[in-house]
């Protein structure tokens, strides 16, 4: 039996994670992280989510706590999110939250309180073999969340339990229904918790940094094709709002964002295609991949894995050309279903 602190977000997955661990005979306590202190009408940080987590804990007969990590969240997630947009990058705040809050701050708090391990409701699996820990895709490939956990190392994996990783989402909901948990039919969170549906990114960023109009310039001709209201809101690969979508007989896409020069370069889909990736801030689940290692590369949370070769020093050579990854996005390397590591697109 272990003492396990379960990160309960108020959703069905973390509710069932706590239930499964309780059923297995562990000493379970639930805790909800208060992360975002501002307005929220989406994501997983609302007052209603905290209440749902608390009431599920009551149903399961376990204690429940609320940890206020708003300062850490602002420092490690919100401020970098704003800074990345100001620099023309497209960040992934959910990856930053996992890296700095759920599997660092929360894990450290669990250790301080004498817990043996933490657990979350992520759809992924932690597998031990030969004294080493492996991060593996969840059983439900449609819900697999290993992509957003790629930064976990041996130290974190050794103290992490992912109980729902063996289940499909319908099985999770069925078990929640069987147990009568109030979250059984609750929809999944889909949005960034600190971006409201009513205001969106423009309102959020506009309150924190100046937003600057920019020229749209054709990649081939250098001709100015129009303007966008805020260069900081444009993502490489974006099509909507990039001038005439049929100009030159082809749809137009943002292929480069220059914040300092207030210019967005646009081109065709072919201009976006590339067979190489340059990654920074690499992290590894275990030993770093050697140069020349065959890998499968995933470039978004539910993107199609692409066969590639890791060339070393953050360089990845793809076996086929794909749409360029926006700078700031996470790229994850797999060996089959096992995560090797990942980095940030330069």
pLDDT tens across 248-284, in order?
557 899 999 999 999 999 999 999 999 999 999 999 9
State residue 245's pLDDT score.
47
288-316, pLDDT tens digit by residue?
Answer: 999 999 999 999 999 999 999 999 999 99
- What kind of fold does domain 3-122+162-179 have according to CATH? Rossmann fold (3.40.50)
The tokens of 29 are what?
């306590």
Inter-residue contact 283 to 151 (CB < 8 Å): yes
Half-sphere exposure at residue 110, Cβ-oriented, CA atoms within 13 angstroms: 29
Percent of the chain predicted with pLDDT > 70? 96
List, for residues 192-244, the tens digit of each pLDDT value: 889 988 889 999 999 999 999 999 999 999 999 999 999 999 999 999 988 65
Q: Is-catalytic flag, 97? A: yes
CB 31 within 8 Å of CB 54? no
**Structure-model confidence comparison of residues 47 and 36, the more confident one:** 36
The reply to whether 45 belongs to the active site is no
pTM of the predicted structure, to 2 decimals:
0.94
Query: What's the rounded Cα separation, in Å, for the pair 177 and 316?
Result: 44
Q: Which two tokens stand for residue 261?
A: 């020069």
CATH architecture of 273-345: Beta Barrel (2.40)
Q: Beta-carbon neighbour count of residue 83 at 10 Å?
A: 13
- In the chain, CATH 2.40.30.10 covers 273-345
DSSP 8-class letter at 203: H
Compute the C-alpha angle 231/147/342, nearest 5°: 80
Parts of the chain belonging to CATH 3.40.50.620: 3-122+162-179
């Amino acid at each position: 039996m272990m003492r396990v602190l379960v990160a309960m977000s108020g959703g069905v997955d973390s509710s069932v994670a706590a239930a499964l661990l309780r059923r297995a005979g562990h000493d379970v306590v639930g805790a909800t992280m208060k992360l975002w202190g501002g307005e929220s009408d989406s994501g997983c940080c609302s007052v209603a989510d905290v209440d749902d987590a608390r009431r599920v804990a009551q149903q399961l007969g376990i204690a429940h706590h609320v940890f206020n990590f708003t300062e850490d969240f602002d420092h490690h997630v919100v401020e970098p999110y704003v800074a990345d947009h100001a620099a023309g990058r497209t960040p992934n705040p959910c990856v930053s939250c996992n890296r700095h809050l759920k599997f660092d701050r929360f894990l450290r708090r669990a250790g301080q309180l004498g817990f043996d391990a933490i657990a979350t409701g992520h759809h992924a699996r932690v597998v031990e073999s030969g004294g080493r820990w492996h991060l593996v895709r969840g059983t439900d490939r449609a819900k697999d969340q290993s992509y957003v956990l790629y930064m976990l190392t041996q130290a974190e994996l050794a103290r992490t339990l992912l109980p729902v990783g063996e289940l499909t989402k319908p099985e999770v909901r069925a078990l929640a229904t069987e147990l009568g948990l109030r979250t059984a039919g609750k929809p999944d969170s889909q949005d960034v918790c600190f971006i409201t549906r009513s205001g969106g990114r423009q309102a959020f960023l506009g309150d924190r940094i100046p937003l600057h109009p920019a020229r749209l310039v054709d990649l081939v001709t250098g001709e100015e094709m129009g303007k966008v209201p805020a260069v900081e809101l444009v993502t490489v690969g974006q099509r909507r709002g990039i001038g005439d979508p049929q100009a030159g007989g082809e749809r137009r896409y943002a292929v480069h964002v220059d914040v300092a020069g207030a210019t967005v370069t646009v081109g065709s889909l072919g201009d976006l295609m590339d067979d190489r990736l340059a990654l920074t801030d690499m992290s590894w689940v275990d030993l770093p991949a050697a140069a020349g290692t065959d890998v499968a590369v995933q470039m978004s949370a539910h993107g199609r894995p692409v066969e590639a070769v890791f060339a070393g020093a953050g360089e990845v050579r793809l076996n086929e050309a794909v749409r360029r990854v926006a700078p700031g996005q996470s790229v994850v390397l797999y060996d089959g279903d096992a995560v090797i590591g990942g980095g940030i697109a330069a």
